[in-house]
Amino acid sequence: MTDKILLPEHIGIIMDGNGRWAKKRGLPRNMGHKKGAEVFEDISKYCKELGIKWLTVYAFSTENWRRPKEEVDGVMNLMRSYLKNMKKAANEHIAVRFIGDKTPFDEDLLRLMEEAENADVGEVITTVQIALNYGGRDEIVHAVKEIVNDIKAGKLSSEDISEESISARLYSGTPEADLIIRPSGEERLSNFLIWESAYSEFVFMDVLWPDFTRKDLDKAIEEYSRRNRRFGGL
Ligand code: IPE
Ligand code: IPE
Ligand code: MG
């Protein structure tokens, strides 16, 4: 990438196309998820090398429970092995956070998630937020419930409800997404970062996620850099 590029602070990626990638090769869908997980690890490292502050990846949506049990179990087991094998050296300077509703997860997975979130990674360059059992609408419902509870407890008054007080109660602890990338050819959000994407730039790409490379990320960032963000102004 050239030096004049404007880097986004927060990139969101909808890691889509794993199933089609596997199907094209006559492989079971879970092999696509496996390859997709490897790509995720490499792209996280690349974001660290580039100095991207926040990377949010969509790994499993609140709607993905509609898939066959075998596939859902496969994705959760991949998450387990990713968390168990996280190499300390390779993950230096990368903090991991999970966003989404954690209530349905098994105890052992929750423990692994917590260990990853508490790992000592040294000075943090990139924070990777993994959206697992995440839905943008669920996130907003969760924030509204917290607000109601805070009002009931006398910690907040209804006059204080604002965009800021809602933002502060979302799962994601990041600024809004600057750039949202969706590979796989689909051009929709599928319930990803609904609130946080109000002024995001979108880049849709034809590549399937397991084929996504560092060069594809460069291309998306270059495209972002050419956009003229106005935020409603002139
Ligand atoms: C995204 O890839 C990963 C998850 C939703 C878990 P898909 O599994 O949706 O792949 P396609 O869209 O069927 O190719
Ligand atoms: C979005 O992809 C969810 C993830 C990538 C984790 P889907 O494959 O579930 O989205 P739809 O069904 O094509 O909208
Ligand atoms: Mg898909």
Is residue 155 assigned to a domain? no
Residue from 27, 184, 187, 188 whose mutation best tests the ligand 1 pocket (most atoms within 8 A of CB): 184
Among 38-52, 61-75, 85-99, the range scoring the smallest mean pLDDT is: 85-99
Residue with tokens 């989404």: 100
> Is residue 161 a part of any domain in this protein?
no
Report how far residue 161's alpha carbon sits from residue 147's, in angstroms, rounded to the nearest whole number.
Answer: 8
20 lines ligand 1 (CB under 6 A): yes
Residue 43 corresponds to which tokens in the numbers above?
Answer: 């792209």
Is residue 147, in this structure, part of any structural domain at all?
A: no
Strands 10-14 and 54-61: parallel
Q: Is the separation of the CB atoms in 60 and 134 below 8 Å?
A: yes
| Identified catalytic residue from 3, 16, 42, 120 | 16
3-state SS class at 99:
strand
Task: Domain of residue 35: give its range.
Answer: 10-135+176-226
- Band (2; pLDDT cuts 50, 70, 90): low
Q: Note whether residue 120 is domain-resident.
A: yes
In this predicted model, what pLDDT tens digit does every residue of 140-168 receive, in sequence order? 999 999 999 999 999 999 999 999 999 99
DSSP 220: H
- Total structural domains in the chain? 1
What number is the average pLDDT over the span 88-97?
85
CA 16/CA 89 separation, integer angstroms: 28
Mutating to test ligand 1, I would choose from 18, 25, 33 the residue with most ligand atoms within 8 A of its C-beta, which is: 18
Query: What is residue 66's DSSP assignment?
Result: G
Q: What is the pLDDT of residue 214?
A: 98
- Band the pLDDT of 88: cuts 50, 70, 90: low
CATH of the domain at 17: 3.40.1180.10
The answer to whether position 75 is within a domain reads yes
Report percent pLDDT > 70 for the chain: 97
For ligand 2, is residue 72 a contact (CB within 6 Å)?
Answer: no
